[in-house]
Amino acid sequence: MATKVAKSPWLLHYDGSSCNGCDIEVLACLTPIYDVERFGIINTGNPKHADILLITGGINTQNKAVVEQLYSQMPEPKVVCAVGICACNGGVFKECYNIIGGVDKVIPVDVYVPGCAARPNAIIDGVVKALGVLEEKRKNMKGGAAE
């Protein structure tokens, strides 16, 4: 990962079918103690502005279409970060009848953050990893990114 963050990546957070545990930890990352905003990271509510999609919780039949739609609305390059074991593979709810599985069942996931609930430090770590992936993707984009 580069020592400096060249651009300010914006986050979009969506709660798949999480128990809220990971959700509030994602929010905690934005608040004074952890404060990802110091890296220029902002939580946006608009997928069209977002570079990184943070998803908590697994995929179920209801939210499948929503997740797919959010992903497709994000501009390239984009990175998906699955937060919490639920988002990684279904976690404790894996055997529930309504759970299809982790987020990677419907959209490609680049970074997996483990934990139940994932700790803010781990989430920030994941986001920082995602920045590296984002940079990589930007470079690989056809024609390169406009600098």
Partner 1 sequence: MANRSVVPFGPQHPVLPEPIHLDLVLEDEKIVEAIPKIGYVHRGLEKLVEKRDFNDFVYIAERTCGICSFMHGMGYVEAMERIFDAEIPPRAKYLRTIWCEMSRIHSHLLWLGLLADGFGFEALFYQCWRMREKVLDMFEEATGGRVIFSVNKIGGVLKDMPKEMLAKFVHNFNEIEKELKDLTEVFLTDYSVESRLRGVGILTRDDAIRLGAAGPMMRASGISIDTRSIGYAAYEDIDFDIVTSNDCDSYARCEVRIKEIFQSIEIIRQAVEKIPGGEISIDIKGNPKGEAFTRVEQPRGEAIYYCRANGTKFLERFRIRTPTFANLTPMLYTLKGAELADVPLLILTIDPCISCTER
Site for ligand SF4 in 103-122 (CB under 6 A): 116-117
**With binding defined as CB under 6 A, does residue 19 bind ligand SF4?**
yes
d(CA 72, CA 85): 24
The footprint of partner 1 (CB under 8 A) covers: 13-25, 27-28, 31-33, 44-47, 57-58, 60, 62-63, 66, 70, 92-93, 95-99, 116-117, 119-120
d(CA 71, CA 77): 11
What DSSP state is assigned to residue 128? Answer: H
> Of ligand SF4, partner 1, none, which one does residue 24 interact with (CB within 5 to 8 Å by kind)?
partner 1
Place of tokens 């992903």: 71
Angle at 74 between CA 117 and CA 57, to 5 degrees: 20
> Of partner 1, ligand SF4, none, which one does residue 85 interact with (CB within 5 to 8 Å by kind)?
ligand SF4
Q: How far apart are the first and last CA of the chain?
A: 19
> Of ligand SF4, partner 1, none, which one does residue 8 interact with (CB within 5 to 8 Å by kind)?
none
- The residue from 13, 14, 18, 41 that contacts ligand SF4 (CB under 6 A) is 18
Do residues 108 and 81 make contact, with C-beta atoms less than 8 angstroms apart? no
- What is the binding site for ligand SF4 (CB under 6 A)? 18-19, 21-22, 56-57, 84-86, 91-92, 116-117
